[in-house]
């Protein structure tokens, strides 16, 4: 058969490491296999955990049998949901200037946190045209892809100090001070930095905010773990709220996800918030209008079911209290697994220092293991984590943590 030439100019794209690793894990038949790759919450039995508050909300919604439950929403999304998401992120309770503060925020619904990051990148690329976006080194791998597709040149600032396994605050500040230009975007993880689990402290966040204001940089917050990281919605939103409350003449934006904190991974529930400066609130509706233009041409409107669950929970004092308890359950289990792994490594006298495991925060730990050690863990012990050494702590349990520690101890001692 004669070959028909194609008009396409395509080359293979490397597979996504996380999903490829997850596929290899599911194909593995070893009885002691352990998945420390994908960032999803698991119970101590290694099972998914639909949040009890979410299950109650789903039951109530099913009983209500709303005939509109599968209908279209508005292009900007479900408006009551957007108000809930905004208030959860920025925390207006008891503030005298609440209405003036809310007037600064243009909000739209997105296809989860990834969609919020993408929409924000696309909007800024079209309407602000930044020379560069600055990403932490390392960062969530999808940040690089999102900004590449938006056509904005990517640069990185130091974030992880490998020798001490700590946050490289001095390196970050020095690089942004010396190399970032007015109008550049700086992507910041609001809490539970992915992949390192290392966050600035409050004094450092204040210094970062001052630098962004002085150099006229544009902060872009990615908030994927509010409430999940510490168990406190307020604590995990502290950085975002500090920038918003204390730098009213600085514009910024926030990508918000409900995947982790409500366990709505597959429902793709998120929001994007653009914050004007306090003298430019008149453009808020125009910002929403332009965001809707991008949304209409791409996915028309956000998914309905996830945001309906969020509304049901947040409009009920009982369900909200249940959800706060669910956050405590998840964050507490993650912290206990960090301590259990650390204690096992100390008991085994595993070479090196391991305090960083308990000092880090949120779902992930940057373990310090080398790619060769990571491959050895998979090949010899069927323990799966990213080649960077990033481990999803949620994959640990009382049943497997000793096994994982023994495996780490072996590869640290024997694989250089």
**Is 290 in the same domain as 350?**
no
Expressed as residue numbers, the domain containing 366 is: 17-50+332-414
Are both 238 and 131 inside the same structural domain?
Answer: yes
Choose the final residue of a domain: 315, 350, 376: 315
Looking at residue 150, its pLDDT comes to 97
The answer to whether residue 342 scores a pLDDT higher than 80 is: yes
* pLDDT tens string 123-149: 999 999 999 999 999 999 999 999 999
Please, which pLDDT band fits residue 74 given cuts at 50, 70 and 90? very high
The reported pTM is 0.95
Q: Are residues 295 and 348 in the same domain?
A: no
What average pLDDT does the chain have? 95
- Do 84 and 214 have their domain in common? yes
Q: Does 278 lie in the same domain as 136?
A: yes
Residue with tokens 């975002």: 240
- Copy the structure tokens of residue 215: 């150099």
Say if residue 41 is in the same domain as residue 88.
no
In a domain, residue 69? The reply is no
In terms of domains, do 23 and 109 share one? no
pLDDT in tens, 12-64: 888 888 889 989 999 999 999 999 998 899 999 999 999 999 999 999 999 99
Residue 102: inside a domain: yes
Tell me the pLDDT band of 1, cut-offs 50, 70 and 90.
low
Sequence-distant contacts of 345-353: CB under 8 A, at least 24 apart: 345/405, 345/408, 345/409, 347/405, 348/405, 348/406, 348/409, 350/405, 350/408, 350/409, 350/412, 350/413, 351/412, 351/413, 352/412, 353/165
**Residue 127: inside a domain, yes or no?**
yes
Domain count, the chain: 2
Q: Going by C-beta distance under 8 Å and a sequence separation of 6 or more, which residues neighbour residue 133?
A: 121, 147, 152, 153, 154, 155, 184, 185, 186, 187, 220
For residue range 294-328, what is the model confidence (pLDDT) as tens digits? 999 999 999 999 999 999 999 999 999 999 999 99
309 and 210, same structural domain? yes
Task: Say if 10 falls within a structural domain.
Answer: no
Tell me, yes or no, whether 276 and 358 share the same domain. Answer: no
Q: Which of 248, 283, 315 is the last residue of a domain?
A: 315
Alpha-carbon gap, residue 247 to 398, rounded angstroms:
45
Q: Does 61 map to a domain?
A: no
Does one domain contain both 306 and 201? yes
Q: Are residues 295 and 360 in the same domain?
A: no
> For position 94, what pLDDT does the model report?
64
Q: Does 7 fall in a domain? A: no
CATH assignment of the domain containing 382: 3.90.1150.10
Catalytic residue numbers read 140, 222, 260
Give the pLDDT confidence of 85-113 residue by residue, as tens digits.
999 999 987 666 889 999 999 999 999 99
CB 191 within 8 A of CB 239: yes
Q: What are the tens digits of pLDDT across the range 275-299?
A: 999 999 999 999 999 999 999 999 9
Mean pLDDT of 253-269: 97
Residue 256, pLDDT > 90, answer: yes
Structure tokens at 129: 């045209």
Query: Tokens at residue 92, please?
Result: 């207006």
Residue 286: strand pairing partners: none
| Residue 152 and residue 34 share a domain | no
The separation between CA 73 and the C-alpha centre of its own chain, rounded to angstroms, equals: 25
Q: Does residue 113 form part of some domain? A: yes
Q: What is the pLDDT of residue 416?
A: 80
Cβ neighbour number for residue 185 with a 10 Å cutoff: 26
Task: Kindly state whether residue 57 falls inside one of the protein's structural domains.
Answer: no
Contact 281, 104 (CB under 8 A): yes
CATH number at residue 87: 3.40.640.10
Last residue of a domain, one of 289, 315, 341: 315
């Amino acid at each position: 058969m004669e070959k028909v030439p194609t008009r396409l100019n395509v080359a293979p794209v490397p597979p996504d490491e996380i999903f490829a690793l997850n596929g290899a894990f599911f194909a593995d038949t070893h009885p002691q296999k352990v998945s420390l790759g994908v960032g999803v919450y698991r119970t101590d039995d290694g099972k998914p955990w639909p949040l009890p508050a979410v299950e109650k909300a789903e039951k109530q919604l099913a009983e209500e049998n709303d005939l509109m439950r599968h209908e279209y929403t508005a292009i900007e999304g479900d408006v009551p949901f957007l108000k809930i998401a905004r208030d959860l992120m920025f925390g207006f309770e008891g503030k005298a200037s609440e209405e003036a503060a809310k007037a600064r925020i243009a909000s739209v619904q997105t296809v989860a946190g990834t969609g919020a990051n993408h929409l924000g990148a696309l909007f800024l690329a079209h309407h602000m045209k930044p020379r560069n976006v600055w990403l932490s080194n390392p960062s969530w791998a999808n940040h690089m892809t999102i900004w590449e597709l938006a056509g904005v040149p990517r640069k990185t600032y130091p974030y992880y100090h490998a020798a001490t396994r700590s946050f490289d605050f001095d390196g970050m500040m020095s690089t942004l001070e010396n190399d970032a230009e007015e109008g550049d975007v700086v992507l910041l993880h609001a809490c539970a930095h992915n992949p390192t689990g290392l966050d600035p402290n409050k004094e450092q966040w204040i210094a970062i905010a001052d630098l962004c204001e002085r150099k006229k940089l544009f902060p872009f917050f990615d908030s994927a773990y509010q409430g999940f990281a510490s168990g406190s919605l307020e604590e995990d939103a502290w950085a975002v709220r500090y920038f918003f409350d204390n730098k009213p003449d600085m514009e910024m934006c926030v990508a918000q996800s409900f995947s982790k904190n409500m366990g709505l991974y597959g429902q793709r529930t998120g929001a994007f918030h653009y914050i004007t400066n306090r003298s430019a609130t008149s453009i808020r509706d125009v910002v929403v209008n332009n965001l809707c233009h991008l949304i209409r041409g791409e996915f028309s409107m956000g998914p309905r079911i996830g945001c309906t669950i969020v509304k049901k929970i947040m409009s009920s004092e009982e369900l909200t209290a249940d959800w706060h308890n669910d956050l405590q359950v998840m964050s507490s289990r993650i912290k206990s697994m960090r301590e259990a792994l650390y204690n096992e490594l100390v008991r085994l006298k595993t070479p090196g220092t391991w305090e960083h495991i308990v000092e880090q925060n949120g779902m992930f730990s940057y373990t310090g293991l080398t790619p060769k050690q990571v491959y050895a863990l998979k090949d010899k012990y069927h323990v799966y984590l990213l080649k960077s050494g990033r481990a999803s702590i949620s994959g640990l349990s009382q049943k497997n943590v000793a096994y994982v520690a023994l495996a780490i101890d072996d590869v640290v001692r024997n694989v250089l």
